[in-house]
Structure 1
Amino acid sequence: MMSKKLLALFILTSFSVIAQQKISVEEIYTGAFRTKGMDALQSMKNTNQYTVLNSDRTSRTQQIDLYDFATLKKVSTLIDTKSYKDLSEGIDSYTFSNDEKQILIANNTSPIFRHSFTATYYLYNLATKELTKVLENVQEPTFSPDGTKIGYAKENNLFIYDIASKAITQVTTDGKKNEIINGITDWVYEEEFAFVRAFDWSADSKKLAFIRFDESKVPQFSMDMYQKDLYPTSQTFKYPKAGEKNSEVSLHVFEVGSKSAKKINLGNYSDFYIARMKWTNDDNVLSAQVLNRHQDNLDLIFVDGTTGTAKVVLNEKDKAYVDVTDNLTFLKDNSFIWTSEKDGFNHIYLYDKSGKLKNQVTKGKWEVTNYYGFDEKTKTVFYQSVENGSTLRDVYKISLDGKKKVKLSSQVGTNGATFSPDFTYYINTYSSVTTPPTYTLNSSKDGKQAQEIVNNTALVEKIKKYDLPTKEFFELTTEKGHKLNAWMIKPKDFDANKKYPVFMYQYSGPGSQEVANNWLDTNDMWFMMLSQQGYITVCVDGRGTGFKGADFKKCTQKELGKFEVEDQIDAAKVIGNYAYVDKSRIGIFGWSYGGFMSSNCLFKGADVFKMAIAVAPVTNWRFYDSVYTERYMQTPQENASGYDENSPINHVSKLKGNFLLIHGTADDNVHVQNSMQMIEALVQANKQFDWAIYPDKNHGIYGGKTRIQLFNKMTNYIKEKL
């Protein structure tokens, strides 16, 4: 007969088994664990207020609501879609004019590539409450600073819409698909320099500067679109692969009054990028960041808008590459704030208007990860950094002279900030591995919390029934002595006397980070689900990843996939020696760069990994785009061995374990060509493997039931092969 103590233990363990509700792929990918936030949160410029896009699900309406920063109370509803039948499709995005008396509202958005889209735009006058449809199927409409005009792009040309007269001025006429683009970036700039709008208004609204892309010599890529038609159609666009011709770019200034444009002579550059362009506070001075093709030399150029003469005011060089910065901020006297990792870590610098260094504002063996703004009154800079550890984020303020640094955030995890226009308050977004996002109002004086705005306690309560394990952070040291950030998710009923299979996940791309103390994403929920089925998941950020300084990040230069793969294999060996791990059952998974990595790990680490899943992988860097690939590898013509020795397509003969290869046919980023050529290489190496192709799906492989089917497929593969 069972003793009372044993009976109690049996009841307790039986109850805990019942209590741990199982997570399903269907729940994860239908949004069951989605967090609440503050949608389209924008700080106003002229009043100490902010706006949020709210939705009323029962009435299927949306509102742009105005709130007071000091009290968090709603001041008014600026517009409610229920009052305007033109907005029955809802509000996709919105922007204010500088005086905040007009709003441009977008709907019927139609995506082009990752960031670009066309939409229908309505102009809303806050005083008269009048809504007018002004533009259809256009890109990037932008108010002039005086609020009288809207610059926009349509079908590769630039236009100006006059709000009062409704007259349209055509700025350029030579735009042509797959040949000339004016004021909008080409595919590779959009993807790798992460901007779409390549035009900007001068402060006095009298000039419009823009970049012109001549992509006529760029090789063309085509993708078949299958849909449900009798015959597939073909989508073609210009895509410069590593070592191939890029767009020829030029900088132009259009005078609104005289309706005349001039081309700016940038100097003796050849094969270069204009990676950023913006007007300074001087009506007549335009800035541009010009990079050479190797991206190891960056010039910040100031252009005289009248004469068109250009001069270099700041130059940065690096033995590997120079990162473009979005943090260029011009102060009232046209001195400027700039971020750079020239001392080995990303920091904030102050230069005078001629480009002479006045002061390095932040210093230390840690990185500034976000620049939030500058308060002219108190001469204070606000920023986010990893000063307390590369997996954490904190909010700080510091005087422009580099003194009086104050840590504003107090909770351990990931803190981000949106500041009020006068910098008195900020909305702090906080999350950690155990706390879903919370939004609070805080004082910029000392960081003290005034009140809570949004929390996710309902999600916390909901998750309790799943009795999930905790994601544990640790530092893993490889046999070669490399110290790497890592996390591990063990089954909730973990027993140190058992032997568990391990599923490793990583991305590993240059400057990336997967090991960070923030709330769980959808991948994490899938790993939690795998933990309920007896798997340990581990993630290791190897060399080449970010936020630990330039040397750690840039050591992979010219050899992408060498040290990163070495670190994953070495980490797997360390993990395999843990007493509770079955070293014969270690698998690895990754998407995009992570798929490149997981393929390489299975092939090069054939005796370490039992299986791998690679989704949308680069299989040979020769197939990927010029801007990204050459930043780290130079061209194939200059560095053939770097390309060939680390591309998994050249190591298929080493495959021993189980391999699942997945790709979407409409992937405009990492072309399905990567997987097709890998499949052929594996076939000719007489290797057995598994693969899945998703018709008309892009790099994200989603839409309808796609994600559910995909993650069920991967789950079943893990259970069968690991």
Structure 2
Amino acid sequence: MKSKQLLILFFLSCFSLVAQQKLTVEEIYTGAFRAQGMDELQALKNTNQYTVLNFDRSARSMQIDLYDYATLKKVATLIDTKDFSELADGIDSYTFSSDEKQILIANNTNQIYRHSFTADFFLYTIATKQLTKVLTQVQEPTFSPDGTKIAFAKENNLFIYNIASKKTTQITTDGKKNSIINGITDWVYEEEFAFVRAFDWSADSKKLAYIRFDETEVPEFSMNIFKKDLYPTVETFKYPKAGEKNALVSLFLYDVNNNATKPVNLGNYNDFYIARMKWTNDANVLSAQVLNRHQDNLDLLFIDGTTAAAKVVLNEKDNAYVDVTDNLTFLKDNSFIWTSEKDGFNHIYWYDKTGKLKSQVTKGNWEVTAYYGLDEKTKTVFYQSTENGSTVRDIYKIGLDGKKKVKLSEKNGTNGAIFSPNFQYFINTFSNATTPPTYTLNSASSGKVVQPIVDNTALTEKLKKYDLPTKEFFELTTEKGNKLNAWMIKPKDFDANKKYPVFMYQYSGPGSQQVANDWLDTNDYWFMMLSQQGYITVCVDGRGTGFKGAAFKKCTQKQLGKLEVEDQIDAAKVIGNYSYVDKTRIGIFGWSYGGFMSSNCILKGSDVFKMAIAVAPVTNWRFYDSIYTERYLQTPQENANGYDDNSPINFVSKLKGNYLLIHGSADDNVHVQNSMQMIEALVQANKQFDWAIYPDKNHGIYGGKTRIQLFNKMTAFIKEKL
């Protein structure tokens, strides 16, 4: 009888071994585990409805479908590409006119940099179902509020297209590549202030405000583009590195009726940034956020649309830097909502139209992470925050006076929201480390689920056969007493009596977060694949990362890479002392800022780390752009030690372990120059290392089979060296 039971147990164990399917790089990086979502979801403003861009696989067509918030039922298909041969290539994106009767549809999109692109644009009138191609390969076309015109940029100049007459008026004529840009941001603004459209319509559609960039004195950067041609071509663009000259910015008001342009007087400022610009609800008042070069002083200006005179209505100062806010929202009386870290944590404030504080809406030792809007009828503010811990996100509502706060999200993890125009409902997006994204319709008064929308059950079922481990979240305390958020992924068959190698992953940049209780990203599947091969993966968010208050985030000021590297080394020492860890086999990996960090760790922590992989790393902050670098380090002229003491290029003689350096040759962001100079420094220090350059690949290093080859390379390196 006993032998029969043993036989059954043997067969069951064999079955479980067969049942657990192994992850592969090929599956992971071809999107086999992509979660279902609601693509291009947009809440309409005039009706209690929303739209989603759907794809019909059988018909090979795309639809912009209209849904009712209250019932989730599809009300109509606004447009189906199968009815229009002009849209055979599909819909890349779409925007509504203010009255939501017309749609601008983009296709044939050509990417420029991270956010910028040119595309062909079609005007679609919903009532008549008429589609007309109106613009070819332009940037940022934007309806006037009255829906009669479209402003757009092309080849560094601004234009206005009149929908009725089909005539185009050119506003600027001095636009020229690598010299003058009108209405579109330059490279460094786009990358670091994260916006492209530098023009905006006044509420009455009579004026267009725009920023002009004079790049004439900005130094140029050149990259070889190899392709398969006999001779490479050279791409040259303006790139201000730390301490070098920035573009000179100026602000203009264009009067549509008079075809006249007036400059805004910003003569009080020198070497400054216009980090944001938008019209208020008063058609004659423009707002602009002006930052000094150190980015520790921000003025919110109100500009008179008639005289172009500017006055400061709000000022923010900080010993480190002031974060630019995207939450500036004007109410009907032109009072406004503003978010600020001035009390040590990011919170919501309400000011009157003169800049006088009316109330601090939220308070506490936690961060507001998203502002969703204000229901002016009930004077209720809706927001997302870290009130229940820095690794989770919850949704709340609160009175404009800071009273009657109600938690609207129920599940523990990461909650996001898109509210209906009347604030009666919201679509709640939820995920955590064990639950793929779910979309539900919720009541905005109570937070209760009204109806499920998308649940990703198919993905959950698909993953069962892989029997994946889970992320374990914990707080790691270093010997110095620093408490740091962390997660760990152990092999599914983890045995506490064994000794495991540890592969650490981090990013570590200012205000960033990698330790968050949300659904797996693509790299998480790779870490789980490594766990199936006997590795423990650990991620630690050190000092300088975000969502734990301004003091924690800004303590790395003027010395990027000092405390962050110290924390990764100290965390590795703590982990190395766990009974189930082989402290002689600890590796570290990072991309971009994370590559800067992993490079520093293998050098400054040469007795702790056995191996490191650095992808697209900054190796010397002198090579990186002005806005990002100077925000945290000031200029090299002012803070030479802050640059040099923590740049890995200066510490190559310390290399003992195994180092893999990877870069794309056409990286417009972190230039391959960083790796080339690092390679030369290592060569001259007579250090052996591995490296790979990916021709014509940008900072993301992707395209075709690139990611598969890259992650197979890194996997092989880990298995050989760790």
Fold-level similarity (TM above 0.5): yes
Aligned to 1:461: 461
- CA distance, structure 1, for counterparts of residue 157 and residue 219 of structure 2: 22
261-270 or 201-210, which deviates more: 261-270
1:235-274 equivalences in 2 (<5 Å) = 235-274=235-274
| Deviation by residue 1:92-137 (Cα, 9 ceiling, x = unmatched) | 0000000001000000000000000000000001111110000001
Structure 1 residues 617-670: Cα deviation after superposition (integer angstroms, max 9, x where no partner)? 000000000000000000000000010000000010000000000000000000
1:482-540 CA deviation, whole Å, 9 max, x = no partner? 00000000000000000000000000000000000000010000000000000000000
Q: SS of the residue aligned with 1:354?
A: coil
1:569 Cα shift?
A: 0.2
Instruction: Using the TM superposition, give the Cα deviation of residue 60 of structure 1 relative to its aligned residue in structure 2, in angstroms.
Output: 1.1
Q: Which amino acid aligns with 2:256?
A: V
Map of 1:590 onto structure 2: 590
Distance 1:535 1:227 in 2: 38
**What amino acid is the match of 1:584?**
T
Mean alpha-carbon deviation: is it higher for 52-61 or for 594-603? 52-61
Question: What is the one-letter code of the residue matched to 2:40?
Answer: A
- 1-side partners of 2:520 and 2:82: how far apart? 35
What do the CA deviations read for 1:12-67 (whole angstroms, capped 9, x no partner)? 33322222100000000111100000000000010000000000112110000000
Q: What is the alpha-carbon distance in structure 2 between the residues aligned to residue 529 and residue 389 of structure 1? A: 29
Match of 2:486 in 1: 486
Alignment of 1:282-321 (within 5 A): 282-321=282-321
Q: What secondary structure does 2:17 align onto?
A: helix
Cross-structure match for 1:152:
152
1:46 aligns with 2:46: yes
Residues 505 and 590 of structure 1 are in contact (CA less than 8 Å); yes or no, is this contact kept in structure 2?
yes
Work out the CA distance in 1 between the residues paired with 2:706 and 2:384.
37
Aligned to 1:335: 335
- State the secondary structure of the residue aligned to 1:642: helix
Q: How far did 1:266 drift?
A: 1.8
**2:281 match:** 281
User: 1:346-425 to 2 correspondence within 5 Å?
Assistant: 346-425=346-425
1:437 match: secondary structure: strand
Write the deviation string for residues 157-180 of structure 1: whole angstroms up to 9, x where unpaired: 000000000111111000000000
Q: How many residues align?
A: 722
Aligned-partner Cα distance in 1 for 2:370–2:691? 40
Give the secondary structure class of the aligned counterpart of 2:710. Answer: helix
Residue ranges of structure 1 left out of the alignment (5+ in a row): none
Instruction: Classify the secondary structure of the residue corresponding to 1:196.
Output: coil
Identify unmatched segments of 5+ residues in structure 2: none
Question: 3-state SS of the aligned residue for 1:566?
Answer: helix
Asked whether 1:323 is paired with 2:326, we answer: no
Counterpart in 2 of 1:96? 96
1:10 Cα deviation (Å)? 3.4
Instruction: Look up the equivalent residue of 1:298 and give its one-letter code.
Output: L
Q: Distance in 2 between matches of 1:516 and 1:29?
A: 22
- The 2-side partners of 1:488 and 1:63 are apart by 42
Distance 1:646 1:612, change over 3 A: same
In the other structure, the counterpart of 2:70 is: 70
Once residues 398 and 225 of structure 1 are traced to their aligned partners in structure 2, the CA distance between those partners, rounded to angstroms, is: 53
The amino acid of 1:587's aligned partner reads G
For 2:505 and 2:18, locate their aligned partners in 1 and report how far apart those are by CA, in whole Å: 29
Aligned-partner Cα distance in 2 for 1:17–1:684: 50
Residue 180 of structure 1 is matched in structure 2 by: 180
Given that 1:584 and 1:610 are in contact with CA atoms closer than 8 Å, whether structure 2 keeps it comes out as yes
Cα separation, 2, equivalents of 1:613 and 1:223: 24
- Aligned equivalents of 2:471, 2:367: Cα separation in 1: 24
1:626 partner letter = S
**RMSD of Structure 2 on Structure 1 (CA):** 0.8
Q: How many Å separate the matches in 1 of 2:234 and 2:535?
A: 43
Counterpart check, 1:626 vs 2:598: no
For residues 4 and 199 of structure 2, what CA distance do their matches in structure 1 show? 78
Letter in 2 for 1:96: F
* Residue equivalent to 1:203: 203
Shift of 1:6: 4.5
C-alpha distance in structure 1 between counterparts of 2:569 and 2:18, whole Å:
38
Question: What does 1:215-254 correspond to in 2, within 5 Å?
Answer: 215-254=215-254
Taking the aligned partners of 1:320 and 1:8, their CA distance within structure 2 comes to 66
Report the CA distance between 1:268 and its aligned residue: 1.2
Partner of 2:560: 560
Secondary structure at 2:430's aligned position in 1?
strand
CA distance in 2, matches of 1:261, 1:85: 41
Describe the SS at the equivalent of 2:608. coil
Distance of 1:334 and 1:210 partners within structure 2:
21
Query: Which residue of the partner structure matches residue 345 of structure 1?
Result: 345
What is the match of residue 635 of structure 2?
A: 635
SS, match of residue 258 in structure 2: coil
How many angstroms apart in 1 are the aligned matches of 2:7 and 2:568?
A: 45
CA distance in 2, matches of 1:29, 1:88: 27
The 5 Å alignment of 1:116-195 reads: 116-195=116-195
State the one-letter code of the partner of 1:341: E
Q: Which residue pairs with 1:33 in the alignment?
A: 33
Corresponding residue for residue 644 of structure 1: 644
Structure 1 equivalent of residue 577 of structure 2: 577
Is the Cα–Cα contact under 8 Å of residues 515 and 541 in structure 1 kept in the other structure?
Answer: yes
Q: Quote how far apart the aligned CAs of 1:11 are.
A: 3.3
Q: C-alpha deviations, 1:578-598, integer Å up to 9, x for none? A: 000000000000000000000
Aligned equivalents of 1:650, 1:344: Cα separation in 2: 35
Aligned to 2:446: 446
Change (3 A) 1:2 1:240: farther
CA distance in 2 between partners of 1:270 and 1:376 (Å): 39
Q: Does the CA contact (< 8 Å) of 1:267 and 1:310 recur in 2? A: no
Work out whether 1:542 is the aligned partner of 2:542: yes
TM-score (norm 2): 0.99
Give distance in 1, aligned partners of 2:440 and 2:264: 47
Matched residues in 2 for 1:609 and 1:451: separation? 50
Measured in 1, the distance between the counterparts of 2:540 and 2:4 equals: 45
Q: Which amino acid in 2 is paired with 1:424?
A: Q
In 1: Cα distance, 2:298 partner to 2:424 partner: 36
Secondary structure at 2:651's aligned position in 1? helix
Q: Partner letter of residue 141 of structure 1? A: P
Counterparts of 2:367 and 2:119, CA distance in 1? 38
Q: Which amino acid aligns with 1:137?
A: Q
- SS of residue matched to 1:704: coil
Q: Is 1:611 aligned with 2:611?
A: yes
Hey, what's the Cα distance between the residues in 2 that align with 1:2 and 1:711?
47
Distance 1:640 1:667 in 2: 25
* Partner amino acid, structure 2, of 1:219: P
Residue type at the aligned position of 1:685: A
Instruction: Name the SS of the counterpart of 2:436 in structure 1.
Output: coil
2:195 match: secondary structure: coil
> What secondary structure is seen at the aligned counterpart in 2 of 1:631?
helix
Amino acid paired to 2:306: T
AA at the equivalent of 2:495: D
What's 2:105 paired with? Answer: 105
3-state SS, counterpart of residue 436 of structure 1: strand
Q: 1: CA distance between counterparts of 2:337 and 2:59?
A: 46
Partner of 2:656: 656
Structure 1 residue 7: Cα displacement: 4.1
